[in-house]
Chain A
Amino acid sequence: DSGVTQTPKHLITATGQRVTLRCSPRSGDLSVYWYQQSLDQGLQFLIQYYNGEERAKGNILERFSAQQFPDLHSELNLSSLELGDSALYFCASSVQGQNYGYTFGSGTRLTVV
């Protein structure tokens, strides 16, 4: 157990629908990062939050949004889902910045049918 909790582990939904992925960072970590990994691909950075505020944005679609709550858990909202959104979505956390590497959750596997 890495200490970063992601729910749900698996999600199957239809095109056009909206889903919410949840992440609880490791205790003491203030930063949360979201990554997307499509089949046999590398990890694409989506967005970072630090202590409740958006800190950096990557290749995140307008249909996707995220937030970090006062208790530091984060949610990634994916709407108007398309088949191409099927992927493994990782959340990672760190104390501050990336200097010591991220701790990753086990991911949420999203399948859009």
Chain B
Amino acid sequence: AQTVTQSQPEMSVQEAETVTLSCTYDTSENNYYLFWYKQPPSRQMILVIRQEAYKQQNATENRFSVNFQKAAKSFSLKISDSQLGDTAMYFCAVGTASKLTFGTGTRLQVTL
């Protein structure tokens, strides 16, 4: 079985501040990938960042970075210099050869 847990249903951050969204996962596969997707009010699913589990170096995409702790099966997303456009639902996901499993999401509100 493959599970993804996002323990923060909602979070709020002020514009220009930094916020970290938590994610833990469990999989029996040795070869897997981790993803963060963003779903703004438009409901479009947008890939934010991906991490290969075999790589120790944490992935970074502009203001978005991850803290990947393989032994702890933890994959958190850090958003720096938060912008109003970052307001969205964020889903963590783990992908293996057979499936991509999503967490229940964290709703992030960026305020002025």
A97 in complex: contacting residue of B43, B47, B91, B97, CB < 8 Å: B97
B44 in complex: contacting residue of A42, A56, A106, A109, CB < 8 Å: A106
Cβ-closest chain B residue relative to A100? B50
Q: Give the size of the chain B interface in residues (CB under 8 angstroms).
A: 23
| Total A-B residue contacts, Cβ distance less than 8 Å | 55
The reply to whether A98 and B99 form a contact with Cβ atoms under 8 Å apart is: yes
Say whether B101 faces chain A, with CB atoms less than 8 Å apart: yes
Question: What 0/1 pattern do residues 20 to 54 of A give for CB contact below 8 A with B?
Answer: 00000000000001000000011101001000000
Which B residues touch A58, using CB under 8 A? 99
Which A residues touch B98, using CB under 8 A? 56
Which B residues touch A109, using CB under 8 A? 43
Say whether B33 faces chain A, with CB atoms less than 8 Å apart: yes
The reply to whether B102 and A104 form a contact with Cβ atoms under 8 Å apart is: no
Say whether B60 faces chain A, with CB atoms less than 8 Å apart: no
The reply to whether B44 and A98 form a contact with Cβ atoms under 8 Å apart is: no
A98 to B96, CA, bound (A): 7
**A42-B105, A98-B95, A99-B33 known; A104 and B45 CB under 8 Å?**
yes
Which B residues touch A100, using CB under 8 A? 33, 50
Q: Which residues of A contact B (CB under 8 A)?
A: 2, 33, 41-43, 45, 48, 56, 58, 88, 90, 92, 97-104, 106-107, 109
Given contacts A97-B97, A101-B47, A109-B43, 15 further A-B pairs with CB under 8 A are A33-B100, A43-B102, A45-B99, A45-B100, A48-B99, A97-B95, A98-B96, A99-B33, A100-B50, A102-B45, A102-B47, A103-B47, A104-B44, A107-B44, A107-B45
